[in-house]
Structure 1
Amino acid sequence: MTQTDDVVLLVRDVLGDADLVGVYPHGSAVLGGLRPHSDLDLFVVVRRRTTAGQRQALTDGLLALSGSGAPGEPLRPVELTVAVQGDIRPWTYPPRSEFQYGEWLREAYLRGRTPEPGPDPDLALLLTMVLRGRSALRGPSPDQVLDPVPPADVTRAMVAGIPDLLAELDTDTRNVLLTLARIWTTLATGDITSKDAAADWVIARVPAEHRPVLVRARAVYLGVEEERWDDLLPQVKPHAQYVVRQIERLSPHA
């Protein structure tokens, strides 16, 4: 069995086939293919709300099934999001998420913090990627389960997440730089691309002094360079600030 199979089996065991509508890939898996540092991104649609016990069981299971992202780790980091179909169809903004697991929260999970349901604007981008992928790991095709998300809500959600991204610039540099590149690319072109394709688009449009950090982020993401930032550290924040200014120029929500 693959890591994906193991995660789907956990979801079925915890949530039950009767309540499970479908399990859908998103992220890199549907935007050009998994890269060496890609997470395993899965979206789960259920018929009714989860219990605290179910959310704890998902967290406990995913702590064992998800890789930390450390060099040489055989398992990919898992990002798993659960939503109730009635909370996202018909579509309303902000949508509500039942549960989310991501490796950036591992320490909180180990301290006993179980994710609680609540508003989650990021679902706008996530659902758009699921629908674009047109792929189901379990259940009917996504277009039978989900409503399209208005582009304005995708833009609003992406821009709303920028402060949280910038707060992680020092600790998750590669991912933050690539995500900012994707936001700028999406706002400018209307298309959601892979992170390396977004980096290519941005590299061609920034002044020369802002290119090296994104070239490095792209190369690490593709697995052709080792992750290190000490030599480029003074350039990281100015690059991020430049990209954010371009996003603000394009977005009515900035």
Structure 2
Amino acid sequence: MNPHPTRYAELNGVLHDLVTGAQSALGESFVGAYLQGSFALGAGDRHSDCDFLVVVRERPDAGQEAALRELHAELPQRPGFWNRHLEGSYAVAGDLRTPDGLGRQWLYVDHGSDRLEWSEHCNQPWTRWILREHGITLVGPCAVEVVAPVPDDVLRESARAGLATLAHDVLDWCPPAVAWCQRYLVVQAARSLYTVRTGEVASKRDALRWAMMHGDPGWRPLLQQVLADRDLGLDPLAPPRPGSMEAAREFAAYVAAVA
């Protein structure tokens, strides 16, 4: 196994336990384990979750699923930090070999959760693109050997499709009275615009910086505010700066219009 996949020794230890636990649960069905998301894009820090993907030969059977559920019920209860900041899925290898497999549900654990669910969360064009182009192999074959290329038009259209309802969709689950949610909305809009324009996927920081350079200069103060405030992390009691939520909604509408 890759002994140093990240710059955090504690996280590397947690990933070792995750991988060995998954191998034990899955047996011969285990293909490989990878990092995608912010750590794969070179932007992971202590304000990031750690996005993983374990590739399996076939959908886990009842015994394998029960063992995986036990693993993820136990991991977040351990002392430490990074064991409570994992997010990822158990991806069926056949689904990854064709764009036709996009959107199929895999076993998924949400950020910090101790419960697996069936979800399409990690089976999206942008997650596959990051995995293939930048994925960090923990153990197993190189990611390009297990995931097919994502067609450019599929990646761009997936980014464009959600923009019309982005503010509604984000603020439906993320309270607008929380500052983190204001920042999240701006970041998602910037990342979507980056993908529509470039056909690639950027980290949160890089998408904000790109938008400052390539978007309407009038949005720079908002983008700078979100970039500067990211290190504040998630505080459910911290309200947005005055006027910033309204500006975030307007930015999302601007991005939907120009995309």
TM-score band, normalised by shorter chain: 0.7 to 0.9
- Please tell me whether the aligned partners of residues 191 and 208 of structure 2 are also in contact (alpha carbons under 8 angstroms): yes
2:111 to 98, 103, 108: 103
Q: Please give the alpha-carbon distance, in whole angstroms, between the structure 2 residues aligned to 1:189 and 1:219.
A: 25
Q: Please give the alpha-carbon distance, in whole angstroms, between the structure 1 residues aligned to 2:145 and 2:205.
A: 30
2:22 counterpart residue number: 11
Residue 168 in structure 1 maps to residue 179 in structure 2: no
- Please tell me whether the aligned partners of residues 104 and 123 of structure 2 are also in contact (alpha carbons under 8 angstroms): no
- Please tell me whether the aligned partners of residues 14 and 82 of structure 2 are also in contact (alpha carbons under 8 angstroms): no
2:75 counterpart residue number: 65
2:96 counterpart residue number: 88
TM-score (norm 1): 0.77
Distance 1:189 1:87, change over 3 A: closer
Residue type at the aligned position of 1:115 = E
Q: Deviation digits for residues 89-121 of structure 1, max 9, x if unmatched? A: 1221643132111127x38x4xxxx4126x558
Residue 194 in structure 1 maps to residue 203 in structure 2: yes
Q: Please give the alpha-carbon distance, in whole angstroms, between the structure 1 residues aligned to 2:234 and 2:118.
A: 33
Normalized per residue, the structure richer in helix is 2
Distance 1:197 1:247, change over 3 A: same
Q: CA deviation at 1:125?
A: 1.0
Residue 50 in structure 1 maps to residue 55 in structure 2: no
Residue 219 in structure 1 maps to residue 228 in structure 2: yes
For the aligned residue pairs, the C-alpha RMSD in angstroms reads: 3.1
| Matched position secondary structure for 1:157 | helix
- Please tell me whether the aligned partners of residues 4 and 40 of structure 1 are also in contact (alpha carbons under 8 angstroms): no
1:115 counterpart residue number: 117
- Please tell me whether the aligned partners of residues 156 and 199 of structure 2 are also in contact (alpha carbons under 8 angstroms): no
The farther-off stretch of 230-239 and 29-38 is 230-239
- Please tell me whether the aligned partners of residues 87 and 95 of structure 1 are also in contact (alpha carbons under 8 angstroms): no
2:152 counterpart residue number: 151
Q: Please give the alpha-carbon distance, in whole angstroms, between the structure 2 residues aligned to 1:76 and 1:213.
A: 31
Q: CA deviation at 1:166?
A: 3.9
Q: Between Structure 1 and Structure 2, how many residues are aligned?
A: 236
Q: CA deviation at 1:244?
A: 4.0
Q: CA deviation at 1:84?
A: 1.0
Q: Please give the alpha-carbon distance, in whole angstroms, between the structure 2 residues aligned to 1:234 and 1:93.
A: 42
Distance 1:74 1:184, change over 3 A: same
- Please tell me whether the aligned partners of residues 34 and 136 of structure 2 are also in contact (alpha carbons under 8 angstroms): yes
Residue type at the aligned position of 2:93 = Q
- Please tell me whether the aligned partners of residues 90 and 106 of structure 2 are also in contact (alpha carbons under 8 angstroms): yes
Q: Deviation digits for residues 106-142 of structure 1, max 9, x if unmatched? A: 38x4xxxx4126x558521111101111531111111
Distance 1:51 1:217, change over 3 A: farther
Q: Please give the alpha-carbon distance, in whole angstroms, between the structure 1 residues aligned to 2:76 and 2:150.
A: 29
Distance 1:15 1:165, change over 3 A: farther
Distance 1:44 1:237, change over 3 A: farther
Residue type at the aligned position of 1:5 = H
- Please tell me whether the aligned partners of residues 189 and 251 of structure 2 are also in contact (alpha carbons under 8 angstroms): no
1:29 to 30, 36, 39: 39
Q: Please give the alpha-carbon distance, in whole angstroms, between the structure 2 residues aligned to 1:226 and 1:49.
A: 36
Q: CA deviation at 1:248?
A: 4.4
Residue type at the aligned position of 2:46 = P
Residue 183 in structure 1 maps to residue 184 in structure 2: no
Q: CA deviation at 1:190?
A: 2.4
Structure 2 segments unaligned to the other structure (5+ residues)? 1-11
Residue type at the aligned position of 1:235 = S
